[in-house]
Each structure stands twice: as structure tokens, then as C-alpha cells.
């Protein structure tokens, strides 16, 4: 149920840009220790912020996936002290 809710939220938030986010999740999620659904959920949280700042859906999709990808690098840099989900929140 929760997963279906997250899927619907992502569809609404990203609209036509969802395939871009899904492709990024398929490419990068496993490398940073996330499932594709977790990756998209983190990107959705980032997207909320950028939408409130006035960015369009295509821009927010690009920025959100970049931040989620950077969260994996921050996890590596902290030697796992901060996981990718927490790093995404920090960023």
C-alpha cells in the first residue's frame, strides 16, 4: 500500500519527467544502496522543495536525481556513517 502511494505521488510530482527519474533510479539506485522505489521516493522529496521554489517539472527532475546521486557519494565520503537516505535529507 505504501509503495503504491509513493508511486502515485511520483507520477503527480514528476508528470512527464517521471521516465527520466525512473531511468536514473534504474542506473544508480543499486550503486548507492537503494531500491528503485526508495530512489524515486527520495527524488520526490527533493522535487517538492524545488517546485516550491518555482522550478518546472523537468528542471526539478534533473536537480532531484542529481541530489539523490550525490547522496551516495556523501555516504561513501562518511564511510557509511550517514546513509544515502539521510544524506539526501541533508542535501
pLDDT tens, position by position, 4-18: 877 888 888 888 999
**pLDDT tens digits along 29-56:** 998 888 999 999 989 888 878 888 898 8
What is the chain's mean pLDDT, rounded? 86
Query: Rounded distance, CA 65 to CA 67, Å?
Result: 5
Query: Rounded distance, CA 76 to CA 58, Å?
Result: 28
Whats the size of the chain, residue-wise? 91
Query: Rounded distance, CA 1 to CA 14, Å?
Result: 20
Query: Rounded distance, CA 80 to CA 73, Å?
Result: 10
- Whole-prediction pTM: 0.84
| pLDDT greater at residue 51 or residue 24 | 24
Residue 22 has pLDDT above 90, yes or no: yes
Amino acid at each position: 500500500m505504501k509503495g503504491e502511494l509513493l508511486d502515485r505521488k511520483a507520477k503527480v510530482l514528476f508528470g512527464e519527467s517521471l521516465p527520466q527519474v525512473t531511468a536514473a533510479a534504474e542506473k544508480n539506485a543499486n550503486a548507492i544502496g537503494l531500491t528503485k522505489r526508495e530512489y524515486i521516493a527520495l527524488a520526490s522529496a527533493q522535487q517538492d522543495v524545488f517546485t516550491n521554489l518555482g522550478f518546472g517539472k523537468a528542471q526539478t527532475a534533473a536537480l532531484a536525481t542529481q541530489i539523490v546521486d550525490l547522496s551516495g557519494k556523501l555516504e561513501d565520503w562518511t564511510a557509511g556513517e550517514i546513509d544515502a537516505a539521510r544524506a539526501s535529507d541533508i542535501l
